Amino acid sequence: MDIMKKMIMRGLAVWLVWIGFCVAVQASEPIRPIPRKLPYNKSKAELGYWLFIDPSLSSDGSVACVSCHSFGHGGADPRPVSVGVHGKKGYVNAPTVYNSYFNFRQFWNGRAKDLKDQANGPLHNPIEMAMKPKMIEAYFQKSEKYRRLFKKVYGRAPRYTDALDAIAEFEKALYTPNCRFDLYLRGEGELSIKEKRGYDLFKTVGCITCHNGINIGGNSYQKMGLIVPYPWSESSPDRFDITKNPMDKNVFKVPTLRNIALTAPYFHDGSAKTLKEALQKMAYHNLGFELDQDEIEALEAFLETLTGEKPAILKEMGM
């Protein structure tokens, strides 16, 4: 009897240690998986979807949000810099809208505090959509479909501020759960030896100091060219643009690395055409050394495990 008891106690102790170990490992992982399900208001998000893809929200009827944030390109723009109304060229690469809800601020220099605040930007920007709230409201008023949808969702005639709210809700729904790395973090999937080596390198060489948290970025401002200076341009949307502090030249919100394999070209200036090139430049400018071929391949293999599922709302909308 005593022996049985002892064995059970011992078994229990081993289990407790094992569970404690697992919890500790989970807690010490500097990257967190995104939730499998994120609650959002479905009817708002659906209205937001129609607004997001509607070129009539631009002054010449040629540009919608989706023109620069392509659903088939990881929510980003395949062009190095975006092109707005009347073919006007911008000066920065469009970041992904997928998982942007998890960013602590919006835009490369964080000038918008949240998605609602952000959506106000491109609609007015003279080189993006170039519209005024009054023009947008007048357009909604003329549309039977929008009058019906706004009434259903907000219980009143279309308003510009409600449109921003709906767009933000749609963007909240643009999260990409269950990438292979998240499954690995949850103990539900394996990584290959190469991918694991890539993740180890990501931590040991120091990428993790800037790219961490739920979005593997998107939670701090850091300098591009921390160790080896990176060329600076006057038109750069960096922190300097806001603070006018020379120390803030080339300081940007760290971009998310989720779905990074889908969103070439890279960097605020779209200067890195491939993921390999982006990794090499990152290691050189921000860590001060050159990666060898083997390391680049392992890191790339790891980054490829960050591609998540296509947002469920897009499937629901038939995209």
Give residues in contact with ligand HEC (CB under 6 A): 63, 65, 67-69, 82, 84, 90, 92, 94-95, 97, 100, 103, 106-108, 115, 118-119, 122-123, 128-129, 167, 171, 205-207, 209-211, 222, 224, 226, 237, 252, 254-255, 257, 260, 263, 266-268, 278-279, 282-283, 286-287, 299
CB of 63 to ligand HEC, least distance (A): 5
If the CB atoms of residues 11 and 61 are measured against ligand HEC, the closer one turns out to be: 61
* CB-neighbour burial class of residue 37 (10 A; exposed 0-12, middle 13-18, buried 19+): exposed
CB of 28 to ligand HEC, least distance (A): 19
If the CB atoms of residues 178 and 280 are measured against ligand HEC, the closer one turns out to be: 280
What count of residues does the chain have?
Answer: 319
208 contacts 268 by C-beta, under 8 angstroms: no
Cα–Cα distance, 201 to 181 (Å, whole number): 15
Q: Which residues of 215-232 are buried (b: 16+ CB within 10 A; e: fewer)?
A: bbbbbbbbbbbbeeebee
CB of 188 to ligand HEC, least distance (A): 25
If the CB atoms of residues 78 and 206 are measured against ligand HEC, the closer one turns out to be: 206
If the CB atoms of residues 34 and 115 are measured against ligand HEC, the closer one turns out to be: 115
The encoded tokens of residue 97 equal 């809208």
If the CB atoms of residues 184 and 215 are measured against ligand HEC, the closer one turns out to be: 215
CB of 180 to ligand HEC, least distance (A): 17
254 contacts 107 by C-beta, under 8 angstroms: no
If the CB atoms of residues 209 and 243 are measured against ligand HEC, the closer one turns out to be: 209
CB of 65 to ligand HEC, least distance (A): 3
Q: Which amino acid is at 305?
A: T
Cα–Cα distance, 292 to 221 (Å, whole number): 28
Residue owning tokens 């006018």:
244
